Amino acid sequence: MQSYTALIVYSLIIGIGATIFMDIYAIVNRTFFKIPSLDYRLLGRWIGHFKEGVFAHTSIMQAKPVKGERIIGWIAHYLIGITFAFLLLLIWGTGWAYHPTLLPALLIGILTTVAPFFMMQPAFGFGIAASKTPKPATARLRSLMTHTIYGIGLYIAGLLLHLFIKT
């Protein structure tokens, strides 16, 4: 497969796979430990307000709901997962998909915690690194754990992809 095409196709496969892995982790946490995860409607609501020029909210939960916010949020969630997989392959090359290793995947997963800490949480009205939430340390740890799981998902998706591509 040509390099550019491989980059796109492998990013899609690995990104979707890693995001599914992260979603399974969220389901396990919610089902067995009663630990809530981000309601992707809020992500959709945030994005839905972009067309009005609103990029930050005092409280995203009190912001006016947007038509289709749930589907917008879920699509964005998967597109973000694909984008971070693209970043992994852009930095380490598509050759990583032929011989996936854990460290690059974990590094990307952990480093993606920057997005919620410094972009989404402040824009949602939760403060930098969830500083305005009732339990900031708990919120930070959950974000870090979720993104670490995403990194493990990148590695697992890479391993599964490796089974189907020729070296």
SS3 assignment for the chain: CCHHHHHHHHHHHHHHHHHHHHHHHHHHHHHHHCCCCCCHHHHHHHHHCHHHCCCCCCCCCCCCCCCCHHHHHHHHHHHHHHHHHHHHHHHHCCHHHHCCCHHHHHHHHHHCCHHHHHHHHHHHCCCHHHCCCCCHHHHHHHHHHHHHHHHHHHHHHHHHHHCCCCC
Question: Under DSSP, is residue 67 helix (H, G, I), strand (E, B) or coil?
Answer: coil
What pLDDT does 166 receive? 74
pLDDT tens by residue, 23-51:
999 999 999 999 999 899 999 999 999 99
DSSP state of 116: I
Question: pLDDT truncated to tens, each residue of the chain (167 aa)?
Answer: 679 999 999 999 999 999 999 999 999 999 999 999 989 999 999 999 999 999 999 999 999 999 999 999 999 999 999 999 999 999 999 999 999 999 999 999 999 999 999 999 999 999 999 999 999 999 999 999 999 999 999 999 999 999 999 76
Considering the entire predicted model, what is its pTM? 0.95
